[in-house]
């Protein structure tokens, strides 16, 4: 039997001696906190479900993860523990990057729904905008802002860029949804060169 297993038995709960060689940061616990906690019998990770607390818990789990996992789960020996945690350390950052990338790419697409399409259509068919930008007018870049919906009602505040043959312009659109239908409240187009605002009619 390995001497580390004799000297440092795992899974005995709080107070279990911690092998010096496993102390340190745990990337798996930091990146995959909830999943890591359940798989390592470290249920304190469920505090990730508590608002505000979940802001600091990844850092607590990263710092204390190795100790808690050793105390809360039985391992064959230190090498077994390190092998399993190394897998978590490799998988965790990869999953975190994929999740963040998906969120970053997905938010603009969520914003470019019916409210955005209506606003863009109004801009593209506005004679005043066409006079300043030329035709055709197309959207370019990333859409920002926010959309809130409740049943069939909602509000949208959007910012996006349109490009024409003569110049570009920023578009600021406020939209409202009533019984599932989006309507224009206000659309302002701000050309990059001429500089004065164009108020696009709602109708």
- What single string gives the DSSP state of each residue in 29-96? HHHSHHHHHHHTT-GGGGGGGSTTHHHHHHHHHHHHHHHHHHHHS--SSHHHHHHHHHHHHHHHHHHH
- What was the pLDDT predicted at 172? 95
Lowest mean pLDDT among 33-37, 115-119, 126-130, 142-146: 142-146
Q: Does residue 26 sit within a domain?
A: no
Q: Does residue 149 sit within a domain?
A: yes
Q: Does residue 43 sit within a domain?
A: no
Q: What is the mean pLDDT of residues 84-97?
A: 85
Q: Does residue 169 sit within a domain?
A: yes
Q: Does residue 131 sit within a domain?
A: yes
149 pLDDT higher than 80: no
Q: What is the mean pLDDT of residues 120-144?
A: 91
Q: Which CATH number does the domain housing residue 142 bear?
A: 3.10.450.320
Q: What is the mean pLDDT of residues 8-29?
A: 88
Q: What is the mean pLDDT of residues 147-160?
A: 82
Residue ranges making up the domain that contains 134:
104-200
- What was the pLDDT predicted at 6? 46
Q: Does residue 29 sit within a domain?
A: no
151 pLDDT higher than 70: no
186 pLDDT higher than 80: yes
Q: Does residue 67 sit within a domain?
A: no
Structurally, how many domains does the chain consist of?
Answer: 1
What is this structure's pTM? Answer: 0.48
Q: Does residue 22 sit within a domain?
A: no
């Amino acid at each position: 039997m390995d001497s580390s297993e004799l000297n440092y038995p795992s899974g005995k709960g709080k107070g279990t001696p911690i092998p010096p060689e496993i102390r340190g940061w745990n990337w798996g616990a930091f990146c995959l906190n909830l999943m890591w906690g359940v798989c390592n019998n470290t249920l304190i990770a469920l505090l990730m479900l508590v608002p505000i607390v979940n802001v600091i818990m990844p850092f607590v789990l990263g710092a204390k993860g190795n100790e808690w996992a050793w105390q809360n789960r039985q391992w064959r020996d230190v090498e077994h523990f390190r092998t399993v945690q190394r897998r978590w350390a490799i998988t965790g950052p990869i999953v975190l990057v994929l999740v963040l990338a998906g969120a970053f790419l997905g938010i603009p697409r969520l914003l470019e729904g019916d409210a955005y399409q209506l606003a863009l259509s109004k801009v593209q068919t506005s004679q005043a905008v066409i006079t300043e930008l030329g035709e055709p007018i197309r959207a370019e870049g990333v859409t920002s802002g926010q959309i809130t919906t409740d049943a069939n009602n909602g509000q949208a505040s959007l910012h996006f860029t349109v490009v024409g043959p003569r110049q570009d312009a920023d578009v600021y659109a406020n939209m409202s949804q009533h019984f599932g239908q989006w309507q224009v409240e206000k659309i302002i187009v701000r050309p990059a060169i001429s500089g004065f605002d164009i108020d696009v009619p709602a109708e």
